[in-house]
Amino acid sequence: MRLNAYLARAGVASRRKADDLIKAGRVAVNGRPGQLNTFVQQHDVVEVDGKRVEKQRLAYLLLNKPRDTVTTASDPQGRTTVVDLVPAATRVVPVGRLDVDTTGALLLTNDGELAHRLAHPRYGVEKTYVVEVEGEPTDATLEQLQAGVELDDGATAPAKARRLTKNVLELTIHEGRNRQVKRMLEAVGHPVTRLHRSEYAGLDVAGLEPGEWRELTRDEVERLRHGS
């Protein structure tokens, strides 16, 4: 694996910050200065500032994100982050992003390859939301959401939409645009008052209280990797 990815897996820094460490000459591989294009093999010895580092085990955590937490690894304003809610022993980062007031299913991992796959639009990972809105959406509104909604950055792809109660919908999308669900509902005249992601890539948060997390099973990880 590339040296910056190895350092990220070791919990030293993000890939971008690892690049800075490498360029600063603080990283050695088998006693020689590491380069940005250095690949680390199984038996190589990697050191940062003279101290040996090793990869952490791969971790896959599903968090039921509570309100008022930010989807970042750290926050300059001192707010609680999603990383604060999971064990600190293994460095993980969130896959994708949920707004500070949005709750629900959020995956955190240190498997960079899988995180990239899940976040890439090409793979069309499904995300299901329970959406409380202003007003009472009609059947025509549901048909609009199902067909695709025109936004300022283009029309959305067709979505699955159904009514749960008079002002609560279930919406399933497979795109990852910024604030997409909120923007879709606002575009059809029903601003969102509460948003909860009930399912991500087939993983749901049933049985998890807000702020609770669990490790994925081996079968769940394999399913994510192979998209089945």
In whole angstroms, what separates CA 8 from the centre of its chain? 16
By three-state DSSP, how is residue 165 classified? strand
- Paired with 32 in beta bridges are 29
Q: Tokens standing for 95?
A: 């896959």
Which distant-in-sequence residues (6+ apart) come within 8 Å of 37 by Cβ? 2
Nearest to residue 202, comparing CAs of 183, 217, 185, 184?
Answer: 217
- Residues annotated as catalytic (active site), given as ranges: 99
- Report how far apart, in Å, the C-alpha atoms of 174 and of each of 117, 121, 124, 156, 221 are: 13, 8, 5, 10, 19
CB 182 within 8 Å of CB 203? no
State the alpha helices, DSSP H only, in the chain.
3-9, 15-23, 112-119, 139-147, 180-187, 218-226
